[in-house]
Amino acid sequence: MRLQKHQALMRLSHPIMRQAMATLCRQLHDPSGQDALFRWSLATLHHSGFEALLVFHYTITAINELREPLHDEVASSVFRVEGERLAPVERDFEQTVLHSESHPVKSSGRRDEWVRVIRGHWYQHRGELEAVLKRREADLRGVLAERAKRALDRELKATRESYRYRLKELQDRSREQELDKWLGH
């Protein structure tokens, strides 16, 4: 890549880039104004069987009491859009949708119509999606707590075993030194 005279490369840690990223994130998380940014896109699937589906991608981050990340993953859920209500789809169909190729909406009129519909129902859908996230959080909290407990038990067992081995090693060395004393070496 060759830079032109009016171009310059900047690292993401550069203050201008930090400010730009902060602005972008702020607009994504709190859209307002005429040209607001939204964290969604509109696409079509071939043969979905439904007029509208919502594919919801979200991140899961588990942190400990020291604010250290323990687990990160991206999860997805698929819902049928039924007016102001979202209905989850069957697991098999969800997997089919998630693994299908999506295509842009070719008709600008249809795309604009769907954008109006989605924006019009967003606050009701947002509440449902937040409830889904809270349920998912409660489910995962239990699963991850159990995993953490098992990992802690494994680590404690390994540490105790290592401690016993080291004590035995020190006792053996102490006995050798004691024997050496008695034998006069």
The tens digit of pLDDT for each residue in 162-176 reads: 999 999 998 988 888
Q: What confidence score (pLDDT) does residue 2 get?
A: 75
Q: Is the dihedral of CA 126, 127, 128, 134 positive or negative?
A: positive
Question: Count of domains in the chain?
Answer: 1
- Quick check: 71 and 61 in contact, CB under 8 A? yes
Going by C-alpha positions, the residue among 106, 128, 125 that lies closest to residue 117 is: 125
- Quick check: 132 and 56 in contact, CB under 8 A? yes
Q: What confidence score (pLDDT) does residue 39 get?
A: 61
Q: What confidence score (pLDDT) does residue 73 get?
A: 80
In-domain check, residue 29? no
Query: How many whole angstroms separate alpha carbon 69 and alpha carbon 67?
Result: 6
In-domain check, residue 72? yes
In-domain check, residue 6? no
Q: What confidence score (pLDDT) does residue 36 get?
A: 57
Tell how far CA 113 is from the center of its chain. 31
In-domain check, residue 150? yes
Query: How many whole angstroms separate alpha carbon 93 and alpha carbon 79?
Result: 10
Tell how far CA 56 is from the center of its chain. 12
**SS percent in the chain: helix, strand, coil, step 5:** 55, 15, 30
Q: What confidence score (pLDDT) does residue 21 get?
A: 79
In-domain check, residue 22? no
- Quick check: 121 and 84 in contact, CB under 8 A? yes
Q: What confidence score (pLDDT) does residue 166 get?
A: 93
Look up the domain containing 177 and give its range: 41-183
Q: What confidence score (pLDDT) does residue 122 get?
A: 84
Q: What confidence score (pLDDT) does residue 70 get?
A: 78
In-domain check, residue 15? no
Segment-wise mean pLDDT, segments of 10 residues, the chain, 185 residues: 75 81 73 60 70 83 82 85 87 88 82 84 88 89 88 95 93 84 74
Q: What confidence score (pLDDT) does residue 43 get?
A: 77
In-domain check, residue 24? no
Residue keyed to tokens 């050496």: 180
Please tell me whether the overall predicted TM-score, pTM, comes out greater than 0.75 for this model.
no
